[in-house]
C-alpha cells in the first residue's frame, strides 16, 4: 500500500509535465514567486521590519525556501526548520512539535503568520499543535535572538514567521497562476497534497484560493518504543503486578515494555482551506483573507500506564470494576481572518503607512477514546500599524504600534489554567543609519500587558506589567560589492517579558508535563541582557554565517518540582523565578568545491551549541545538545544529488528531574529532478532519511522516553507551478 501511494504521487507529477512543457520559459513574475529555487542556501532576508535593509539588530536571521523547503517539509513547523543552526523542536508527538530557538521555547518564542501572531493555544502546552501548515508556506523566516522589538515580549527568545500568499503580494503576469505539491513517505504512510490558484482580475486586483490535506498512520520506528531504562521499569512493575495476582495488568505492562517497530497512537489528519483578495496600485494596497484549519492527531502514551487496575478493598466489598481508558487524541479547529493595507504618503518624512490585522477563533478538544475530555477555546485579535520613514542619506527606519486582546477558556477535568483575558499594547521604533561601510542600528519598544483571570470560585486576579526592550548594534562591511557582502558586527540588547496566565495561575494536572502544575501570582517580568557578535554574508559563491552570544536573565521563569506530596498521583511542579545565563555559538558555511561547465559540487557545514545555567548552578532543563550537519550536493544538468550527515551529541548536562539522552547520527540522501531545460517550474524529489535506521530521541521532548524519531523513511514529492 505504501509503495502504491508513492507511485500515485509520481504519476501526478508526470501528468502535470506535458502542460509545463508547453511553456519552457517562465515569466519574470512566475520565476520569482515559484518554489523551485535550486540555489537556496543564501541567507535571503525577507524584511519584516519596514524601512530596514538588514535585520542585524535582531541577530541571526535565516529563510527556508525553494528546494530546501521542499526537502525539509514536515507536518509541523518545528520539524520543518529543525535542521537550521540554532533551531530545534519540542518533538512531543508527530502531530505536535513547536520550534525551539537557541534552547528557548514556549512563551519565549512567537510563531507568526505573515507577521501577525498565530493566536492559538500552542504555546500553552507542548501537546498542542500549531495552526500553521508548512504545506501553504512560500517561505519561513527564522529570527534568532530577541525579536521582542518587532513582535512583542513573548518573542524574547526569537520568532518564526511563516510567509504565505493568502493575501497575494503582487498581481501575477499570467491570467491564472497555479502552485501545487503532492508528497508521501513510508515511515508514516503519509499522503499529502496542497494547491493554490491566483486569478488576475485586472491589472490591479487578484483573487487567491488554496487548500491542503494530509493523512498519516502510526509512525514506523527503528526499535523499542521505550528507552532501556523505561523498559526495565515497566518489566519490574509487570513482575510486581504478577506477584499480586493482577495478571491482566502485568501483561499490559509487559506488552508496553516490548512494544517495537511502531509508535502507537501517533496518527494525524489535517485539512486547510483559504481564500484571499488583494488590490495593488504602486505602493498602495489593500487585502483580506480567511482560512480554516482542522486537525486531529494522536498523543502517544506512556506504555502500560493508560490502564487503571482494581484496588484492594475491605473484606466483603466487591472489587472495583476494571477500567480501560481509550487512547488520547486531540481535535482542533481554527477560523482566521486577516486584513492588510498600505498607503503611499508621498515624499515627506514618512513615505508609507502600513497596517496588519488578524482575528482567530480557535477550539481544541482532548479526547480519551470517544469520551470528550478537556476543551480549550481561544479567541483573539492582533494588529499593528507602522509608519515607514523615507530613506534620507542612509538613514531609515519605522515607528509603530501594536495591539492584541486574547480570551482563553478551558473546561474539563484537566483545565489547569483558569479562564483569562490578556491585553497588550505597545509602541516601538527601529532605526538604521549607514555611513559608508559602517552600519548603525537601534530600536526600542514599550509594552503594557494586562492579565485578568476569573477563577471558578467567583474570585478574580488582575496583574499589569510594563516591559521595556531596547537594542543597539554596529556592523562593518569587510567586503562590499555587487556580488560580495561580508559584514561583522556586534549587538547589545535588553529585552523584557511579562509572565503569562499559565505561569501566574496554573493549578491542575497537565498531560504534557505529566505533573500537577501550580503557578505563582506574584511573578514579575523576566529581563534578558544580551550580547552577540557575528560575521555574515558572502564572498562570491561562498556563504558564511556565524554567531556567538551570551544572555544574562534576571528573574528567569521556569518549572521545577515542589517539595510537597503528590496530588492525584502526579508530582507537583511549580513556576519559580531565578537568575540564569545562556551562552551559545552557531554557524553555517557553504562553499562551491567545483564549479565547472554543467557541473557544480557544493559543500555545507553547520552546527550549534547552547549552554544554559540557573543561578544556583543547575542546568536549565531540556536544552538541546550540540549538533551539526555536513552535506555535499552535486548539480548536474537536470539533477541535484545531495547527501548529508546529521549528528546530535549526547546530552548529559541535565537538571535534577530529567534524564540524559543518548546522541545519534542520521545519514540522509536525496535526488531532485528538474525535467525542463531553462524552466524550474517542476521539481520531483526522491529522498531517504535515516538510511541506516538509527534510533534517535530528542532531548527537548517531554515524551522522549517513549516517542523516538522515525526510522528509515523513503519520501517522494513533487512541486509544480505554471
Cβ neighbour number for residue 388 with a 10 Å cutoff = 22
pLDDT of residue 42: 44
pLDDT of residue 17: 39
Query: φ, ψ for residue 56 (rounded to 5)?
Result: -60, -30
Listed range (335-339, 410-414, 714-718) with the worst mean pLDDT: 410-414
pLDDT(321) > 60:
no
pLDDT, tens digit, 9 for 90 and up, residues 667-676: 999 999 998 8
**Residue entry with cell 550537519:** 629
How sure is the predictor about 619, in pLDDT bands with cuts at 50, 70 and 90?
A: very high
Cβ neighbour number for residue 628 with a 10 Å cutoff = 17
Listed range (51-65, 608-622, 674-688) with the worst mean pLDDT: 51-65
pLDDT(131) > 50:
yes
Which position has the higher pLDDT, 312 or 37?
Answer: 37
Please tell me the distance from the alpha carbon of residue 588 to that of residue 60, in angstroms, as a whole number: 11
Q: What is the mean pLDDT of residues 239-250?
A: 91
CA distances from 6 to 13, 183, 387, 470, 717 (A): 11, 8, 49, 51, 8
Please tell me the distance from the alpha carbon of residue 615 to that of residue 694, in angstroms, as a whole number: 37
Q: What is the percentage of the chain residues whose pLDDT exceeds 70?
A: 88
Q: What is the mean pLDDT of residues 254-265?
A: 95
Query: φ, ψ for residue 187 (rounded to 5)?
Result: -70, -35
How sure is the predictor about 510, in pLDDT bands with cuts at 50, 70 and 90?
A: confident
Query: φ, ψ for residue 699 (rounded to 5)?
Result: -65, -25
Q: What is the mean pLDDT of residues 332-353?
A: 95
Using DSSP's 3-state secondary structure scheme, residue 33 falls into: helix
Instruction: Write down the mean pLDDT value for the chain.
Output: 88
Four-residue CA torsion sign, 141, 79, 330, 376: negative
pLDDT of residue 657: 84
Four-residue CA torsion sign, 173, 178, 181, 182: negative
pLDDT of residue 373: 86
Helix (H) or strand (E) holding 100: strand 99-101
Is residue 638 within 8 Å of 605, Cβ to Cβ? no
Which position has the higher pLDDT, 413 or 628?
Answer: 628
What DSSP assignment string belongs to 406-458? EEEEEESTT--S--EEEEEEEEEEEEEEEETTEEEEEEEEEEEEEEEEE-TTS
pLDDT(349) > 80:
yes
Query: What does DSSP assign to residue 657?
Result: T
pTM to 2 decimals?
Answer: 0.90
pLDDT of residue 679: 59
Which position has the higher pLDDT, 565 or 277?
Answer: 277
pLDDT of residue 720: 94
pLDDT(54) > 60:
no
Cβ burial, residue 287 (10 Å; 0-12/13-18/19+)? buried
pLDDT of residue 5: 43
pLDDT(31) > 50:
no
pLDDT of residue 272: 97
Is residue 90 within 8 Å of 126, Cβ to Cβ? yes
Is residue 324 within 8 Å of 249, Cβ to Cβ? no
pLDDT, tens digit, 9 for 90 and up, residues 215-233: 999 999 999 999 999 999 9
What DSSP assignment string belongs to 239-285? HHHHHTT-HHHHHHHHHHHT-EEEETT--EEEEEEEEEEEEEETTEE
Which residue, 390, 388, 440, is CA-closest to 50? 388
Q: What is the percentage of the chain residues whose pLDDT exceeds 90?
A: 71
pLDDT of residue 7: 40
pLDDT of residue 148: 67
Is residue 60 within 8 Å of 475, Cβ to Cβ? no
Which position has the higher pLDDT, 562 or 512?
Answer: 562
Q: What is the mean pLDDT of residues 554-581?
A: 92
**Residue entry with cell 549587538:** 491
Q: What is the mean pLDDT of residues 252-275?
A: 96
Q: What is the mean pLDDT of residues 537-547?
A: 91
Is residue 102 within 8 Å of 156, Cβ to Cβ? no
Q: What is the mean pLDDT of residues 107-132?
A: 91
pLDDT of residue 20: 38
Please tell me the distance from the alpha carbon of residue 467 to that of residue 462, in angstroms, as a whole number: 17
Which residue, 145, 44, 81, is CA-closest to 549? 145
Q: What is the mean pLDDT of residues 700-715?
A: 97
pLDDT(48) > 70:
no
pLDDT of residue 306: 52
Query: What does DSSP assign to residue 692?
Result: T
pLDDT of residue 379: 98
How sure is the predictor about 183, in pLDDT bands with cuts at 50, 70 and 90?
A: very high
Q: What is the mean pLDDT of residues 696-711?
A: 96
pLDDT(549) > 50:
yes
How sure is the predictor about 314, in pLDDT bands with cuts at 50, 70 and 90?
A: very low
pLDDT, tens digit, 9 for 90 and up, residues 137-154: 999 999 887 666 778 888
Cβ burial, residue 184 (10 Å; 0-12/13-18/19+)? buried
Alpha helices in 45-92 (DSSP H): 66-71, 77-80
**Residue entry with cell 515497566:** 234
pLDDT of residue 608: 97
pLDDT(470) > 70:
yes
Which position has the higher pLDDT, 210 or 306?
Answer: 210
Cβ burial, residue 469 (10 Å; 0-12/13-18/19+)? buried
pLDDT of residue 354: 95
Using DSSP's 3-state secondary structure scheme, residue 37 falls into: coil
Q: How many helices (H) and strands (E) does the chain have?
A: 8, 35
Distance of CA 228 to the CA centre of its chain: 30
pLDDT of residue 223: 96
pLDDT(34) > 80:
no
Amino acid at each position: 500500500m505504501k509503495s502504491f501511494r508513492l507511485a500515485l504521487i509520481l504519476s501526478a507529477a508526470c501528468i502535470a509535465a506535458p502542460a509545463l512543457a508547453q511553456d519552457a520559459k517562465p515569466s519574470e513574475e512566475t520565476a520569482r514567486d515559484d518554489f523551485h529555487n535550486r540555489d537556496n542556501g543564501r541567507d535571503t532576508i525577507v524584511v519584516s521590519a519596514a524601512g530596514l535593509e538588514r535585520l542585524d539588530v535582531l541577530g541571526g536571521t535565516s529563510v527556508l525556501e525553494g528546494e530546501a523547503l521542499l526537502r525539509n517539509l514536515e507536518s509541523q513547523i518545528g520539524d520543518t526548520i529543525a535542521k537550521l543552526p540554532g533551531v530545534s523542536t519540542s518533538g512531543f508527538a508527530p502531530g505536535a512539535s513547536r520550534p525551539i530557538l537557541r534552547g528557548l521555547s514556549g512563551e519565549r518564542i512567537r510563531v507568526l503568520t505573515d507577521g501577525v501572531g498565530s493566536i492559538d493555544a500552542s504555546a500553552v502546552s507542548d501537546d498542542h499543535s500549531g495552526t500553521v501548515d508548512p504545506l501553504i508556506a512560500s517561505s519561513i523566516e527564522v529570527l534568532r535572538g530577541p525579536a521582542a522589538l518587532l513582535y512583542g515580549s513573548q518573542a524574547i527568545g526569537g520568532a518564526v514567521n511563516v510567509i504565505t500568499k493568502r493575501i497575494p503580494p503582487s498581481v501575477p503576469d499570467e491570467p491564472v497562476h497555479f502552485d501545487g505539491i503532492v508528497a508521501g513517505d513510508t515511515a508514516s504512510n503519509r499522503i499529502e497534497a496542497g494547491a493554490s490558484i491566483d486569478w488576475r482580475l485586472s491589472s490591479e486586483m487578484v483573487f487567491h484560493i488554496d487548500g491542503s490535506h494530509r493523512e498519516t498512520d502510526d509512525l514506523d520506528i527503528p526499535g523499542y518504543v521505550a528507552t532501556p531504562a523505561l523498559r526495565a521499569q515497566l518489566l519490574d512493575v509487570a513482575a510486581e503486578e504478577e506477584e499480586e495476582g493482577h495478571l491482566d495488568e502485568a501483561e499490559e505492562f509487559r506488552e508496553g515494555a516490548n512494544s517495537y517497530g511502531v509508535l502507537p497512537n501517533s496518527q494525524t489528519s489535517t485539512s486547510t482551506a483559504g481564500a484571499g483578495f488583494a488590490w495593488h496600485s504602486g505602493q498602495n494596497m489593500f487585502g483580506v483573507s480567511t482560512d480554516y484549519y482542522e486537525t486531529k492527531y494522536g498523543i502517544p502514551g506512556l506504555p502500560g500506564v493508560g490502564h487503571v487496575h482494581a484496588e484492594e478493598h475491605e473484606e466483603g466489598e466487591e472489587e472495583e470494576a476494571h477500567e480501560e481508558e481509550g487512547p488520547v487524541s486531540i481535535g482542533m479547529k481554527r477560523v482566521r481572518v486577516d486584513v492588510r493595507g498600505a498607503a503611499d504618503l508621498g515624499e515627506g518624512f514618512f513615505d508609507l503607512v502600513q497596517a496588519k490585522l488578524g482575528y482567530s477563533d480557535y477550539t481544541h478538544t482532548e479526547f480519551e477514546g470517544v469520551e470528550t475530555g478537556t476543551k480549550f477555546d481561544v479567541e483573539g485579535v492582533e494588529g499593528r500599524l507602522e509608519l515607514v520613514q523615507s530613506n534620507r542619506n542612509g538613514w531609515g527606519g519605522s515607528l509603530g504600534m501594536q495591539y492584541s486582546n486574547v480570551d482563553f477558556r478551558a473546561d474539563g477535568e484537566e483545565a489547569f489554567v483558569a479562564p483569562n483575558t490578556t491585553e497588550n499594547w505597545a509602541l516601538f521604533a527601529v532605526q538604521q543609519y549607514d555611513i559608508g561601510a559602517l552600519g548603525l542600528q537601534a530600536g526600542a519598544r514599550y509594552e503594557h500587558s494586562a492579565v485578568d483571570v476569573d477563577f471558578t470560585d467567583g474570585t478574580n486576579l488582575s496583574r499589569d506589567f510594563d516591559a521595556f526592550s531596547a537594542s543597539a548594534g554596529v556592523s562593518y562591511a569587510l567586503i562590499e560589492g555587487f556580488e560580495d557582502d561580508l559584514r561583522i558586527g556586534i549587538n547589545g540588547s535588553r529585552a523584557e517579558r511579562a509572565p503569562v496566565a499559565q505561569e501566574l495561575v496554573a493549578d491542575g494536572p497537565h498531560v504534557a508535563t505529566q505533573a500537577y502544575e501550580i503557578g505563582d501570582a506574584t511573578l514579575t517580568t523576566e529581563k534578558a541582557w544580551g550580547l552577540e557578535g557575528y560575521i555574515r554574508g558572502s564572498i562570491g559563491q561562498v556563504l558564511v554565517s556565524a554567531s556567538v552570544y551570551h544572555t544574562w536573565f534576571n528573574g528567569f521563569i521556569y518549572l521545577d518540582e515542589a517539595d510537597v506530596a503528590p496530588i492525584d498521583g502526579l508530582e507537583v511542579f511549580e513556576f519559580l523565578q531565578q537568575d540564569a545565563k545562556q551562552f551559545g555559538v552557531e554557524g553555517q558555511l557553504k562553499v562551491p568545491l567545483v564549479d565547472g561547465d554543467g557541473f557544480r559540487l557544493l559543500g555545507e557545514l553547520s552546527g550549534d551549541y547552547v549552554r544554559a545555567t540557573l543561578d544556583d548552578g543547575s542546568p536549565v532543563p531540556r536544552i538541546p545538545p550540540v549538533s551539526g550537519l555536513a552535506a555535499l550536493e552535486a548539480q548536474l544538468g537536470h539533477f541535484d544529488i545531495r547527501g548529508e550527515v546529521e549528528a546530535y551529541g549526547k546530552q548529559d548536562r541535565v537538571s535534577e528531574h530529567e534524564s540524559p539522552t543518548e546522541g545519534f547520527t542520521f545519514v540522509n540522501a536525496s535526488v531532485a529532478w528538474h525535467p525542463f531545460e531553462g524552466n524550474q517550474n517542476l521539481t520531483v524529489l526522491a529522498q531517504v532519511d535515516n538510511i541506516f535506521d538509527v534510533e534517535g530521541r530528542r532531548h527537548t521532548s517531554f515524551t522522549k522516553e517513549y516517542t523516538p524519531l522515525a526510522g528509515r523513511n523513503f519520501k517522494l514529492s513533487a512541486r509544480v507551478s505554471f
